[in-house]
Amino acid sequence: MKSKILLFAIFILTFSVSTFAQKSGKKYYITGQVLDVNDQPVSGAIVFVDNKKSDAITDDKGVYKVKVKADAVKISIFKLSCDLLNEEINDRSVINFKFNNEILHEETVKQENTVDEVVNIGYGSAQTKNLASNVRNINGQEKKYELYQTVFDMIKELPGIQVVDEQIRIGGQSNLLILVDGLESTFEGLQAIVPRLVKSISVLNGTDAAIYGSKGGCGAILITMMGNSK
């Protein structure tokens, strides 16, 4: 009887210490496993905490480990095929995820870019050789675009992009983040843009689009207009 009371007391003390550590403002670790619809481990998935990208990714066994603040609310798992799962943390230290749909492999886009080409990636500019994946880019200053009727006509030239009924899709997904001179826009907003006034268009997906958190999960379209110095 005494041994049972002692074990119960140890359990309560351990639980209390753990809870206090999480409530006292200190950071703590959350770990878990990510599986696909076939219960196979998902590797290379990116971990977000409160819509902010962390340095954590799942290993070849689908396992992740990420340090979070005590007041963190949500943890998300992002796979490069535009699959995104969310879970409320609720003081948990072990959170597992399972995708309910088939995960598509990210399309490999072949583009004839030189290694020194500079493209707009939304948070400045970078050379394509330094990016995690190819960024599809349009130089709007080319003469041919003066004759185009809409921005959609320009974008449909890019490999791996589908334009149907003024809807833009990447890998079948249309829930894209659209930024025009850094301001969020919509497909409807793109209808008003005159092609000859477009300086450049960059299309990001995969890890390059992940800088925008869950909003850029399916990809991002960045449009810079003439006269913008960014």
Interval 169-189: pLDDT, tens: 887 777 888 888 888 888 888
What are the tens digits of pLDDT across the range 11-30?
A: 454 445 455 545 556 889 99
pLDDT class of 65 with cuts at 50, 70, 90 = very high
Q: Where are the alpha helices (DSSP H) in 59-156?
A: 151-155
Whether pTM exceeds 0.85: no
pLDDT class of 207 with cuts at 50, 70, 90 = low
Euclidean distance between CA atoms 156 and 52, whole angstroms? 31
- Mean pLDDT, the chain, whole residue set: 74
| Locus of tokens 């005159």 | 194
- Please state, for a pLDDT cut of 70, what percent of the chain lies above it: 68
Q: How far is CA 141 from the centre of its chain?
A: 29
- How would CATH label the architecture of 118-225? Beta Complex (2.170)
pLDDT class of 90 with cuts at 50, 70, 90 = very high
pLDDT at 82: 53
Q: What is the mean pLDDT of residues 61-82?
A: 85
Euclidean distance between CA atoms 119 and 142, whole angstroms? 15
Residue 142 in tokens: 């080319």
For the chain, domain boundaries? 2-98, 118-225
Euclidean distance between CA atoms 45 and 110, whole angstroms? 23
Are 131 and 116 spatial neighbours (Cβ–Cβ below 8 Å)?
no
pLDDT at 30: 95
Which CATH superfamily includes the segment(s) 2-98?
A: Carboxypeptidase-like, regulatory domain (2.60.40.1120)
